[in-house]
Structure 1
Amino acid sequence: MFGDFGHGTLMTLFAVWMVVRESRILSQKSDNELFNMVFSGRYIILLMGLFSVYTGLIYNDCFSKALNMFGSSWSVRPMFTSPKANWTEELLKNAPVLQLDPNVNGVFNGPYPFGIDPIWSIATNKLTFLNSFKMKMSVVLGVIHMLFGVTLSLLNHIYFKKPFNIYLGFIPEMIFMASLFGYLVILILYKWCAYDASTSKIAPSLLIHFINMFLFSYNSDNDNKNNIPMLYSGQKGLQCFLVVCAMLCVPWMLVLKPFMLRQQYLRRKHLGTHNFGGIRVGNGPTEEDAEIIQHDQLSMHSEEGEEPAVEEVFNFGDVVVHQAIHTIEYCLGCISNTASYLRLWALSLAHAQLSEVLWTMVMHVGLHVKSIGGGILLVLVFAAFSALTIAILLIMEGLSAFLHALRLHWVEFQNKFYIGTGFKFLPFSFESIREGKFDD
C-alpha cells in the first residue's frame, strides 16, 4: 500500500463506515455494481488503510507534507559557532542552498524517534535520500517475505509425509536463497550500522560488491583503482563460500531427487507393492509421491462390478524434465522475484510525487492569494483538490496498490509453497454420495 498518513486515514474511515453499517447496507440490496464490488472488499480496504497509515508515519508523509511531531534532529546553529566551520557571511549570501554538515558537532543529534526527519521535506536531495532508503527497504521486506514462503513449504512436506521433498527440495532451496539474497539483506543492514557521517564518503556500493561476488572479482589492484574497499575483513572468503554453496544447491535440486525417486520406485516394485482402486496393498513403504507417479488405469473387468486395477508407471524422463523446470524456475525466480519487490518503492515514489504535484499546482494556488477574494477562491480550490485527491490518489492509486500487492502474494510469495494440484473440489452433498461421485 502507498505510504501516506492523510490518505490512509481517509481510506480507513471509509472502510470503518462500511463495516459499521454492514447490516444496514446489506438490507438495502443496492443495484449499484461498482459500490457492491467495493463493499464486498470492505475488510481488505480497512487493512489497506491501516497499513497506509502506519507506512505514512514511517515515511512521515501526510498529504505530501511532513509532520513535525518530535522536532528536527538537525540544527544549523553549530555550523556557525564551531571553530572548525569555515562559513563566512559572504559565502552564505552567495550560496543558493545551505548544506548541513553532520561532521560538525551538534548539527546532527541522532536518529529521529520514529520515521523520517521532517527536515528532509525541504531538502534538495530529498528524492536521492528517500529513493535509496525505500529501494533497500523493498529488497529487505521482499527477501523476508520469500523466505517465509519457502518455510511454509516445509510445513506442507511434513504434513504430507514427504521426506524426499524436505532433504532434496526445501533444504537446498533455503540454502540457495539465504546464501545469495539473505546475505544481501545482511549487507544492507551492516552498511546502515557500520558507517556514519564521518565515514560515509568511503562507504562502498553494495551493488558493485554483489556483482563482484558472482564474478569472483577480488583483485586488490582493481579494487584500489575503482575505489571499492571491502566492507569487513574476511569478506572475500565468506562470499566465495556462499556462492559455492549456492551453486552446489543447483545439482542438489536438479539431479538427486529424480534418481532417489527412481530408486524408491524400484524398491517398491521389488517388494511387490501395488495400487488397486486407489488402495495400496503389499509390503512396500507407504510414502506417496503423487507428483511423479503416473497412474495408468488398466481395465481388468474380469467380473462385473469389480474395481479396475491401477498400476504405477514411473516415467524417469518426465520426472527429470519436471524437476529441471522446477529448478530453473526457482533459481531464476529468486532473482526476478527479488527485483519484483522493487514495485513497492516505485508505487511509493509515484504516489508521493502525484501528491506533491496536486498540492503545488492546485492547493498552493489558493493559499497564495492575499486579496479578499482569496477566501472564495480557496473554497473552490479546496473542492477541486479534494475531488482530485479522492479520484486519483485514493481510488486509482488504491486500486493500483491492491493489484500490485495481490501479484506479489500470488506470484512471488505463494509459488514458494502452493502448487495447486490435487483433487477437484466438490461441495458436500448427500445426493453426490448416493450417486457415488465421491471416491473413497
Structure 2
Amino acid sequence: MSSTCDINTFLHYAYDPSSERSMPAPIPTVLNNLNSRRNQKKNLVNEGINSFRNGIRNKLENTTSNTHVVPLSGGLDSRAILAVLVDEVGLQNVETITYGTKNSFDRRIGTRVSNKVGVSNHVINLHPEETNWNIDKLLEIAKKSGQAIPILDSIVHEKIAEVIPDDATVWSGFMGGELSGSHLPSDTFSEWEGACAEFARSQAFSPELTASNYDPTDPLPDSPIISADKINYFEQLDFVIRQQALIKNSILQYEDVVTPFLAQPWLQYILNVPDHCRNDRLLFKNIFTKYYPEIFSLPTTANFNRPLYWPELVAKGYTGFEIIKAKLSRSVGIYEPDPLISQFPFGHAFRQDWEITKVAYELLQSVQEREVIPGKDPISIWNEHQRGSDNTDLLKSLIQVEINIRAGNVIKY
C-alpha cells in the first residue's frame, strides 16, 4: 500500500497515521467472535502457556526453514518467543541477534538472555560512526516503504536484515506487548473524540514544527473501528494506527518474518481475558515467570532494566544512577552513551565530525531551501543544537521530511 502524507501530519507523528485503517489480521475476526470476557479462572496461566505454544506450533507448520532467528531486545516479547521456540525446535536451530549502542540496556540484557539460553548470538553495534550513512541509502529505504516513515530509525532494521541468513525464518515480537496490555489506558474513554485527542497527544513527535492551525486528530478515523465492548477506543487506535502504520512498516522488513503473537490460539486467549488481567501485562508476566523462571528472572527493560520481582522504585533508582553516571562522563569529555538509547545516539552524533553529521547538514540545507515549514529555520535549529540545546527530535523530523519528500511520500505544502 502506497500513500502520500501531509507535511504537518508527518512533523507531528513522524509517520503517516492515515495510511492504515484496519487492524492486523486476524484480530478483527477474533474480536467479532468474542462473547463476554471470562472471569478469572484458576487455570488461566496454564491455559495461556498452552495457547502460546500452540500458536508457535501453528506458525512452524507454515515454515520450511530449519534456521530460526529471534532479534532479541531487553523486553519480554522476544524473550517469550525464544523460550518456547527453543523448546519446539531445539537449541541448535535457533539463533539470536542482539543490538544497540555499547552500553545500552537492550543490548546488554538481550545478550545476557541469549547467553543464559545457550543459543548462538550475533551482536550488532549500533554506533553512528560504524554505520554507512549516505543519502542514497536513506532514499532507497524510503522508496521501498512507499509510505512516510521515520527513516533514520529504520536503518537499525536494515542492519539487522544484513546479518540474517538467506534461508532463515525471522520471529518478531510484533503486537506482543500491546495485545497483553502494555498500552492499556487508565482512561478507556467513552467518546471516540476523547480517545483520538489523547492518542494524538501521546504520539506527538515534533508538534513545535507544525502550523498553528494544524489539528493532529484530522488524519485519524472519524468513527470507531469496532464496538467498544470488544476493545476500548484507545487500543483500537493503537492497534490500527501505531502498530500498522508505524511499527509494522518500520520493523517488518525481513523476507520471511513470523509474528507468533498474531497466531489464532494466542489471540483467542489473550483478547478474551478481563482487562484487569491485562493491566501492566500482569497475566503475561505470570505465565512466563511460572514456566520459564530462569530467563524471566533476568533484568528486563519492562521494569526499568531490573528483574520483574524488583520493586519499581528500587529499579528506577538503580537505572537513574547509571544514567547520571553516563551524563557525568560526558560532562568531562568522556563519551558514554545514554544506556536508555538502544538505537543510535543521534543527539550526540549530530555534534560530531562523522559521516552522519555531514549527511544530516546537507539534508537540512535542502529542506531550508524548500521553505516548506513557514517560520522555522532548520539551520538555526541545527546551530542551537551545536551550542548545547537538545533539538534531536526536531532535527530528525526535518531530515526525515526531506528524505520523504524526495521519495514522494510527503506532500511539500
TM-score range for the pair, normalised by the shorter chain length? under 0.3
**Which structure features the higher share of helix residues?**
1
Specify which structure has the bigger relative contact order, considering alpha-carbon pairs within 8 angstroms and separated by 6 or more residues. 2
Higher Rg: 1
TM-score normalised by structure 2 residue count: 0.18
